[in-house]
Structure 1
Amino acid sequence: MRVKITADSTCDLSRELLEEKHITVMPLHVLLGEEVLEDGVTCTPEKIFRYVKETGGTYNSAAANPMEYYEFFTPFARDYDAVIHISVGAGFSSCCQNARLAAADLPNVTVVDSRNVCTGQGYLVLRAADMAAAGAGPEEILAEVEDLAGRVELSFVLDRLDYLSKSGRCPTILAFGSNLLKIRPCVECIDGELKVGRKYRGPTVKCVAQYVKERLADRTDLDRDLIIISSCMPLEGCVEAERQAIAEYGPFRRCYETAIGSTIGSHCGPGTIGVVVARKAAEKET
């Protein structure tokens, strides 16, 4: 059985990974003033940050509408036995709702709420694509992805909070105070929501090394198959600090490095960096 895996562009997987795994993404819209762009196609985080710096203008992101999803799904529904679309978490966007409205008219298309965003969502997409390539059927893939959605751990360290403030997700006074005191908060995806966890203080490179140690050290509950490093215009030395910490507190069989796209990058801002891992699946009773 031929199964096609698709996802919203918020999965933030590299073009190379998407091509290698035969994954096709649906771009979200990015609004820069009066201009409507497509995430990962005509818009990058660099373009957003340059626009904000030069014009002081506003930006936002928007989901594809049901008709756009229907047109996106239709060729795959015709050419494959089943299509599994892994959506950005329903708590973050109307993408999942709109995709499900479109899929209602396509019997072999199933939309999965990843309950996550960025490479937390991307982790699920990769697992589904690997299973599809290995010949797994849609029911087996769906069961695995639904279970994995509750085990993925997505977190980031933010270098600055002004972009989170612009998006309305962080009070301006908090952003100002954090930047002034060089506080680097860790943001985690928990139960389908982004929540602030531990706050680090000091140079970002030092904070990043400590953050990765706390995410990985002495843990026996992690699935050591895959870890993903995600970053948005990282500061010098930060990716290297993550690599070194992962090597020390790993090992993982695979480590992918991806750039955060314009939809998520526009909220978290430049200098953001994090890791995505998953806990082991619970052992099944025999």
Structure 2
Amino acid sequence: MKRIILTTESGADLPEDLARKHAVQVVPMHVIMDGKDYLDGDLPVEDIYEYYDRTKKIPSTAATNVHEYQEFFAKIKRDFPGCTIVHIGYTSKASVSFQSAVIASEDIDNLYLIDALNVTGGLAAIVMYAVKVLEEEPSIEPERLIDKIEAIVPKSRLAFIPGSLDFLRAGGRVSNIAYLGGALLKIKPVIELIDGKLVSTKKYRGKMSAVSEKLMSEYLSEYNIDREQLYLLYSLGLDESIKQRMDEIAKEAGFRNVRWIQAGAMISTHAGPGGFGVAGLEV
């Protein structure tokens, strides 16, 4: 049986220990800061926030390009001769990265592409679902695995509150965000993935400690999330007391496993410091 290799992008924020443990290959996206191009994963998140504090400028981001995908897939083929690659990609509605993967795949055999229509923890949840399927059914045919993954894509639910409207506005990925009013009134928008697009669905007012708890409560009421696994997301700067409270709520709600995921450099350029989110798969 030929080996199946799972791949994804750094925008999944898949923790390094999980990627390494389950042999998930991750291709980096890009952060552009002060005219210099950094690979996501090589640039410490602290440098982004320090740069903003010093210059009041927010770095931009760029997708993985076609050439990078060609080299990425070719290396996997060299390292794992005869393997089948199943790539679970960052939503095509918010980045051209997936389209670059499509172009790069044209001359590569046994390569399948899945548009996860999600980002950060929502994408990571789909990747980890695929990992679980492969572990439970190591001899599964690629086509059946793909069917399973594609069936779970619309069940991945992600909601997050950015730590800074400045960063969110600069990222330009949320078309319906009212920046000025939110900044003046201390309103914190909830961002969710709707059909692969980042959309502001609700607005909370107050401190992050209060609105994060409100987000968790409404998220768990609205979605019937599989109690086997919940992903809690944060960007550097989120208060530890908030993280402890979110753990308590998750435990009270009956989740058997909770995994915290830190936003990497690419996602942090959109979320800003001190952001919080939650992701999981509906049953």
Say yes or no: TM over 0.5: yes
- Of residues 205, 212, 218, the one that matches 2:209 is 205
| Residue identity in the other structure for 1:46 | E
Q: How many residues align?
A: 276
SS of structure 2 residue aligned to 1:237: helix
Shift of 1:218: 8.1
Q: Which residue is 2:48 aligned to?
A: 48
Q: Which residue is 1:166 aligned to?
A: 170
Measure the CA separation in 2 of the matches of 1:168 and 1:74: 33
| Residue identity in the other structure for 1:26 | V
What are the ranges of 5 or more consecutive residues in structure 2 without an aligned counterpart?
none
Q: Which residue is 2:66 aligned to?
A: 66
Q: Which moved more, 1:18-27 or 1:162-171?
A: 162-171
- Provide runs of 4+ in structure 1 moved above 6 Å: none
Task: Write out per-residue CA displacement over residues 20-44 of structure 1, whole angstroms, 9 at most, x where no aligned residue.
Answer: 121110000111021110101x213
Measure the CA separation in 2 of the matches of 1:103 and 1:43: 28
- Of residues 108, 111, 119, the one that matches 1:109 is 111
Measure the CA separation in 2 of the matches of 1:95 and 1:257: 25
Q: Which residue is 2:16 aligned to?
A: 15
Task: Write out per-residue CA displacement over residues 182-236 of structure 1, whole angstroms, 9 at most, x where no aligned residue.
Answer: 22211111111111122111221111112111111486x3322211011101134
Judge conservation of contact 1:4–1:132 (CA < 8 Å) in 2: no
Q: Which residue is 2:243 aligned to?
A: 239
Q: Which residue is 1:92 aligned to?
A: 94
Q: With structure 2 as the length reference, what TM-score do the two structures score?
A: 0.91
Task: Write out per-residue CA displacement over residues 150-188 of structure 1, whole angstroms, 9 at most, x where no aligned residue.
Answer: 1110000223311112223469x9434323322221111
| Residue identity in the other structure for 1:4 | I
Measure the CA separation in 2 of the matches of 1:184 and 1:169: 16
Task: Write out per-residue CA displacement over residues 93-127 of structure 1, whole angstroms, 9 at most, x where no aligned residue.
Answer: 11111111111111111111111111111111111
Judge conservation of contact 1:162–1:176 (CA < 8 Å) in 2: no
Question: Are residues 1:138 and 2:142 paired?
Answer: yes
Measure the CA separation in 2 of the matches of 1:113 and 1:86: 6
Q: With structure 1 as the length reference, what TM-score do the two structures score?
A: 0.90
Measure the CA separation in 2 of the matches of 1:50 and 1:199: 28
Measure the CA separation in 1 of the matches of 2:47 and 2:61: 14
1:132–1:50 Cα change, 3 Å: same
Measure the CA separation in 1 of the matches of 2:275 and 2:172: 18
What are the ranges of 5 or more consecutive residues in structure 1 without an aligned counterpart?
281-286
| Residue identity in the other structure for 2:141 | G
Measure the CA separation in 1 of the matches of 2:112 and 2:234: 30
SS of structure 2 residue aligned to 1:271: coil
Measure the CA separation in 1 of the matches of 2:225 and 2:64: 35
Q: Which residue is 2:31 aligned to?
A: 30
SS of structure 2 residue aligned to 1:150: helix
Measure the CA separation in 2 of the matches of 1:20 and 1:27: 18
Judge conservation of contact 2:247–2:258 (CA < 8 Å) in 1: no
Q: Map of 1:245-260 to 2, 5 A cutoff?
A: 245-249=249-253, 251-260=254-263
| Residue identity in the other structure for 2:277 | G
1:191–1:125 Cα change, 3 Å: same
Judge conservation of contact 2:234–2:275 (CA < 8 Å) in 1: yes
Measure the CA separation in 2 of the matches of 1:155 and 1:239: 16
| Residue identity in the other structure for 1:55 | T
Q: Map of 1:118-137 to 2, 5 A cutoff?
A: 118-134=120-136, 135=138, 136-137=140-141
Q: Map of 1:142-161 to 2, 5 A cutoff?
A: 142-161=146-165
Judge conservation of contact 2:14–2:121 (CA < 8 Å) in 1: yes
SS of structure 1 residue aligned to 2:47: helix
| Residue identity in the other structure for 1:27 | P
SS of structure 2 residue aligned to 1:83: strand
SS of structure 1 residue aligned to 2:226: coil
Measure the CA separation in 2 of the matches of 1:264 and 1:218: 25
Q: Which residue is 1:283 aligned to?
A: none
1:170–1:112 Cα change, 3 Å: closer
